[in-house]
Structure 1
Amino acid sequence: MSAQPEVIIQGVEMDSAMLLLNRWRKISETKGFDRVDAKLIAKAKLRRDARRVAEESPSSAEGAPRDPKPLGGVFTQLSNRYGWESNLSAGRVLASWESIVPEAIGKTCKAEAIDGLALVVRCENKSWVAQIKLYEKQLVELLCERLGEGMVVSIRAVSR
């Protein structure tokens, strides 16, 4: 049973929306408007639009939309469209940790994750945790200098 009240006219059940539609059709016919097939109009519009696009599109020498594009640009568009930029940035920080920090810190402390804007670093022992805390400001500045401002705001060092 539908949510709208049904009416029986000449043995056929009709809801109020169908009655209204039929009423408007009769009014249109009396004013001289013919019924038009919506599917035919849609097909004609598609053909017209396709013709217009074909006329307006540049030749392949001018950079047509179907020409090959550099792969780096395609990946950048995808990451922006699907919101992957923050995950890729986090991966960039984790991957480049050892090359950014001094060698001694890179060997004994490994970047594990990014929690918000804090970089989580796991150190071999508590003395290295103290070193990371001591040099946190300088390390954050190094990371910002190499990877961009705002990627990492603080470093949280933990021991194994």
Structure 2
Amino acid sequence: MPNRDRDPRPRLDGLDRRLLGYLQKDARVSTAELARRLGLSGPGLQKRLRKLEDQGVIRGYATIVNREAVGLDLLCFVHVTLAHHRPNSVKQFPDKIKNMPEVLECHFLTGEFDYLLKVVVANHDHLQKFLFGTLMKAGGIDRTRTSIVVKEVKASTSLPL
């Protein structure tokens, strides 16, 4: 009989957490430097990295682009209420969102709204075109409420390890 109390998450030791911390601060650091900081051999570090990747702890390595430097000046949060709450409707919405490049994140919520979208656009015209020309045309939406970010106070991709 399987143990239902078993935690399916990978177990991370102190070295794993230190390694992840270094990578979150600077994913471009060389493997030689990482190995030195952690007191590991090169092959030992590679084995540990591969294990973390295989377990899905490390999902990838990415460059963080300054959105304003590339002309995406508006950051918005769009609360979405679906027209219907049948299982099929709730399931289809994320599939529609996946092909909308303006949507950085999509979260399924409890409470007053069904989904929260984190959206970036160039300007107010772009926002209007996205909301009425893309999002609402996808169908299945009863209403939206959009908040435009005045100032981004904190934005981080680092987890508290």
TM bucket (normalised to shorter chain) is: under 0.3
More helix by share: 1
**Highest relative contact order (Cα 8 Å, sep 6+), 1 or 2?**
2
If the length of structure 1 is used for normalisation, what is the TM-score?
A: 0.23
**Between Structure 1 and Structure 2, whose CA radius of gyration is higher?**
1
Q: Give the alignment's TM-score, normalised by structure 2.
A: 0.23
